Structure 1
């Protein structure tokens, strides 16, 4: 299957540069200069991922990313944020908005393609683990669904973005073990592309936020100075 990538970028020269390199790498490409057009293009068929510029006319890429994550249909859509903002606080803001990765301008086309490939690989389950259960959480890789099943309660679905899903799958396949940020980057993101360790903290925060409505956020524990783990017996708070 050929992946189709939507570029939302208002600078024609940059959009064309990205499109040419993606096409040479074997991807189908569509371009939109603003978010309204992007929404219209996604109405009938979703792309495999979105490359989204931060600064756009009418609506910023950060705001658009938040809207995509809030919509059930587009919640799992991989988003690569592209921007000239390079401060750590800007990167955190971009990731907090819902982006899965972040590339600053000017960028290397080869690095951009590598990050695109890495993001698309994250759509594939980490391992053929089969169904996983930790506490009330149940994850089924075949249906890509996560449920919270508490005694005497109806099962409740947990809505996760692609990176948060992979994080949870990895945690649930390795319960009670403490995983350093470096280990998580290697196992969940892969070591093909450099991603800062701070990125792990942002996605852990997003994973906990997604688990909070079903009272499962406390199962993800921070081990000070070591990393993170999922536990079957969280400390009561």
Structure 2
């Protein structure tokens, strides 16, 4: 079955161009011209990926991205944000709202397809796995896409985006191992990622806010100076 992509773009010519590119590659496409309709279509159709324009009438792309991440549904779609804004500060804002990747306009057709395929390949790799990782405070069930944390002796579900879930799963797969930013980028986004390695820092910061008692002084996800990050949680549990 073809994977479904929702294109959220108010400029008809650009939307038609993107749709033609994606359908030529075998994807099934939906189209929304504004944020409210995008939220309705996400809830109704549960797309695998959303190509989301930053500048939209009414709700802008940042607000749409934030609300998509809060919607309950069977799928947590990947979000590729399109923006004419090129400054690093703007890119960080987009990623901090839950976007998985960004693409600056104008973009080449080859780059768009490469980024879409890189994100969706991560989904296919994840579906091929069947593993559960446990440490004293955390459990990740890859097959069921569930993450929990032990807090005061009780197991509490973690509300994680797809990237945060995969990042925590990677850390739990080898507690104590130091992970370079370059390796994490390759593992989480694939070989076709065109962005900067510092994108990892944004997602680590968001993950820390959800799992650390004091995100400013992280206990679990620790920075390894000159390398990247490592995860510590006592001895790994079988």
Return the TM-score normalized by structure 2.
0.90
User: Aligned residue for 1:33?
Assistant: 33
Closer/same/farther in 2, CA of residues 214 and 143 from structure 1, 3 Å limit = farther
Q: CA deviation at 1:121?
A: 1.8
Q: 1:88 aligned to 2:84?
A: no
For the 8 Å contact 2:118–2:191, the answer to whether it is kept is no
Whole-angstrom distance in 2 between the partners of 1:188 and 1:95: 14
For the 8 Å contact 1:7–1:51, the answer to whether it is kept is yes
Closer/same/farther in 2, CA of residues 212 and 68 from structure 1, 3 Å limit = farther
1:118-129 maps to which residues of 2 (within 5 A)?
A: 118-123=118-123, 124-125=125-126, 128=129
RMSD: 2.3
User: Aligned residue for 1:178?
Assistant: 178
For the 8 Å contact 1:148–1:214, the answer to whether it is kept is no
Closer/same/farther in 2, CA of residues 84 and 122 from structure 1, 3 Å limit = same
For the 8 Å contact 2:43–2:71, the answer to whether it is kept is no
For the 8 Å contact 1:122–1:162, the answer to whether it is kept is no
Return the TM-score normalized by structure 1.
0.91
Listed as ranges, the gaps of 5+ residues in structure 2 are: none
Whole-angstrom distance in 2 between the partners of 1:126 and 1:44: 22
Q: 1:23 aligned to 2:3?
A: no
For the 8 Å contact 2:39–2:67, the answer to whether it is kept is no
User: Aligned residue for 1:132?
Assistant: 133
1:134-213 maps to which residues of 2 (within 5 A)?
A: 134-150=135-151, 152-153=153-154, 155-212=155-212
Whole-angstrom distance in 2 between the partners of 1:100 and 1:38: 17
User: Aligned residue for 2:98?
Assistant: 98
Q: CA deviation at 1:152?
A: 3.4
Whole-angstrom distance in 1 between the partners of 2:120 and 2:159: 19
Q: CA deviation at 1:116?
A: 0.6
Whole-angstrom distance in 2 between the partners of 1:129 and 1:101: 26
Q: CA deviation at 1:75?
A: 7.8
Q: CA deviation at 1:232?
A: 1.7
Whole-angstrom distance in 2 between the partners of 1:8 and 1:142: 30
Whole-angstrom distance in 1 between the partners of 2:225 and 2:128: 28
Q: CA deviation at 1:213?
A: 7.3
For the 8 Å contact 1:139–1:145, the answer to whether it is kept is yes
| Partner secondary structure for residue 140 of structure 2 | strand
Whole-angstrom distance in 1 between the partners of 2:197 and 2:153: 40
Closer/same/farther in 2, CA of residues 127 and 207 from structure 1, 3 Å limit = farther
For the 8 Å contact 1:118–1:193, the answer to whether it is kept is yes
How many pairs were matched up?
A: 233
Closer/same/farther in 2, CA of residues 95 and 74 from structure 1, 3 Å limit = farther
Whole-angstrom distance in 1 between the partners of 2:87 and 2:12: 25
Q: CA deviation at 1:200?
A: 0.6
User: Aligned residue for 2:54?
Assistant: 54
